[in-house]
Amino acid sequence: MRTVTGQQRRALRHAQLSWSEQLVDPRDKQGQRHLHQGLLALLVVGFACGKAGLRQIEELSEDVGARARRELEVARKVSDSTLRRLLKEQRVGGLAETLRGWVQALLGQEGERHELPLGVASFDGKSVYSSTQKPVPGLESVSCDETGSPVWKLGAMRAALTRVRACPCLDLEFFGAKAGESPAFRQLLPRVVEHYGEHFQVVTGDAGLCATENAALVRSLGKHYVLGLKGNQPTLHGHAVECIADKNCPPRAHTQDRAHGKSTVRELWTHALKQGEVDFPDALLLLCVRQTHLGDDGTQSTEWRYFVTSLSTVDLSFAHLLKLVRLHWAIENQHHWTLDMVLQEDARQPCRANASALAVTAWLRTLAYNLLAAWRDRLPLKDGLPVRWERACETLRDALVHGRTEACLPTGA
């Protein structure tokens, strides 16, 4: 039996969760064998332990110790059919409030650990579900090819506090196959500013969010923006390429890292914009980052990426600007990657009965990601780096089965 260390127990306490009172139990009042919040908690900790299927979560409910079951108020093993019925009938009301309460507790318990003088919230869209096989009730479809074959899609615009090392997800805004990321961003950003505005001053987004309307919204809410530039803004992107190409000077800042048998060199060039030089709200700087990957076998690849920002070198140094650009990629490399590769959001949907079930599962997986990220962030480092995500799942499961679990399990509000 593996011993749960004091540091692990402190990590579990850090991840305490209370369910919102707005959550409604959709089940019949008669014949209930398990408490509503206990079943939801089991789903969250099951996903956080890397259990993508309901049968695996059923087995986890059998493995957890008696103390964990008492804290969950689930007296016995929970069948996968019980969990599936709950996902089919559950509505999303109260899940956003639950996530918000958990994140605010996470930020307040031990403070924010960061490396930038300004807080950063990153926004990016991610697919929740996509299928060409059969319709899902309540889900929009579009034609996916020249034959007109339908594809059913559900996506979510996500906001993550990337300056914080655990990179917690703050909120979601769902969009269907016929809607784009920008409308979802314009719905999501005011909510995030309302509830978390004191924790960040900079909004980052990729090229899909680079639009004058989005930039103007960010500035109207009192925040700065850093937005990627690609072909969807041909004039501004072309101007950035031309301006940076004319600079025959050393980079303003650079970093070099090594991982997975490769060295990665990142170099930053900037161009200060004059008033009226470009037609983009409050734009002050154009940024160019050259990323060069050098393999031990002699291979080399180079990427050029361009950005526009309302920040100036008065707000941040060149080194901080380069770090800021890298922070945005954390929402892809940490949050999205973990959801797909560890929690298997793209590969496994445990209940596809309707669009609401997909949305409920997305909220629960987001709660699971935040739990796992907070747990991993407090585990002992391995060779100076955080442990692998898969290893974090294993140790979390061990703590649930063998350790003190009362502070890590979601509890009633």
The pLDDT of residue 401 is 81
Q: Are 226 and 312 in contact (CB under 8 A)?
A: no
**Strand runs labelled E in 194-261:** 202-205, 224-229, 253-259
Closest listed residue to residue 122, CA positions, set 208, 183, 45: 208
Q: Are 274 and 341 in contact (CB under 8 A)?
A: no
8-state DSSP, 336: I
Rounded distance between C-alpha atoms, residue 95 and residue 158, angstroms: 15
What pLDDT score was predicted for residue 158? 97
241, 201, 249, 237: which is closest to 221 by C-alpha?
A: 201
Most distant pair of Cα atoms in the chain: their distance: 76
Name the strand (E) or helix (H) holding 307: strand 300-309
| 8 A C-beta contact, residue 204 and residue 227 | yes
Helix and strand numbers (H, E) in the chain are 14, 10
Per-residue pLDDT of the chain (413 residues; tens, 9 = 90+): 445 555 445 544 544 568 899 999 998 887 788 889 889 989 999 999 999 999 999 999 888 876 667 766 677 789 999 999 999 999 999 999 999 999 988 887 655 556 688 999 999 999 999 888 878 898 888 887 667 788 889 999 999 999 888 899 999 999 987 788 999 999 999 999 999 999 999 999 999 999 999 999 999 999 999 999 998 899 999 999 998 876 778 899 999 988 767 888 999 999 999 999 999 999 999 999 999 988 878 788 999 999 999 999 999 999 999 999 988 888 888 899 999 999 999 888 999 999 999 999 999 999 999 999 988 988 888 888 889 999 999 988 888 887 544 444 444 33
In the chain, the domains with their CATH numbers are 6-96+352-402 (no CATH), 112-337 (3.90.350.10)
3-class SS string, 112-133: CCCCCCCCEEEEEEEEEEEECC
Q: What is the pLDDT of residue 187?
A: 97
How many Å is the Cα radius of gyration of the chain?
A: 23
∠ CA(365), CA(367), CA(373), 5° rounding? 100
pTM score? 0.90
Q: Given this model, what pLDDT does residue 15 score?
A: 43
In terms of Cβ atoms closer than 10 Å to its own Cβ (0-12, 13-18, 19+), residue 254 is middle
| Per-residue pLDDT, 213 | 97
